Chain A
Amino acid sequence: LAKTTQPISMDSYEGQEVNITCSHNNIATNDYITWYQQFPSQGPRFIIQGYKTKVTNEVASLFIPADRKSSTLSLPRVSLSDTAVYYCLVGQSGYALNFGKGTSLLVTP
């Protein structure tokens, strides 16, 4: 399993863009990068997944440099409802997941 490192916490104001970077130096060739979001009292929810370059969906963008040793989750114009814990996961097997402690994002007015 690739080990991931991400900030423990981040703060932002409403309307700002938030970028959360995850380091994964020992990512394997076949590994994908997946981000989940978890609200209090709920289970994690899949946000976005990518292998290389850039992936964008209606919720976020994921930027992956050519060496794939890091990735950045970008949340455009965050709102209060984006306050949550964000997990970066790296791996291939559907069951070998290491969620770690994630990044706790606090959005304030």
Chain B
Amino acid sequence: NAGVTQTPKFRVLKTGQSMTLLCAQDMNHEYMYWYRQDPGMGLRLIHYSVGEGTTAKGEVPDGYNVSRLKKQNFLLGLESAAPSQTSVYFCASSFPSTASRQPQHFGDGTRLSIL
């Protein structure tokens, strides 16, 4: 059982380049999320999705776009990378919240450096 898989694990980009981070989950989760984590900071929510074909902005959405064409995949795109987007990116997924919070399951992160 793979859980949440993030691709790639590491990447170095030049300013202005574009790229897409892929997140795949095999737990049939409805909800998926993208976070970024900077040194000394907690995780900040970039975008999230509550179902196939739907996405919404989180706390820090500027400079990123997302797509959820399939239930198991959630893509995070950087159209024109900037040094300020150097960070570790985490994807997570969960079942919908009903009467209680459903814990999120995280991938191991993508370490992205923008030069």
Contacts and interface: CB of A to CB of B under 8 A. Distances in A.
Contacts of A70: none
A32 B33 CA distance: 19
Interface stretch (A12-20, A38-46, A59-67): A38-46
B106 A99 contact: no
Interface string B44-60: 11001010000010110
A34 B31 contact: no
A49 B101 contact: yes
Contacts of A36: 103
B48 A95 contact: yes
Given A42-B108, A43-B90, A94 B42 contact: no
Interface in A73-106: 87, 91-95, 97-102
B100 interface: yes
A49 B100 CA distance: 9
B101 A91 contact: yes
Interface of A: 32, 34, 36, 41-46, 49, 51, 87, 91-95, 97-102
Interface of B: 4, 31, 33, 35, 40-45, 48, 50, 56, 58-59, 90, 92, 94-97, 100-109
18 contacts: A42-B106, A43-B4, A43-B106, A44-B43, A44-B90, A44-B92, A44-B106, A45-B106, A46-B104, A94-B50, A94-B94, A94-B97, A94-B102, A95-B56, A99-B35, A101-B40, A101-B42, A102-B42
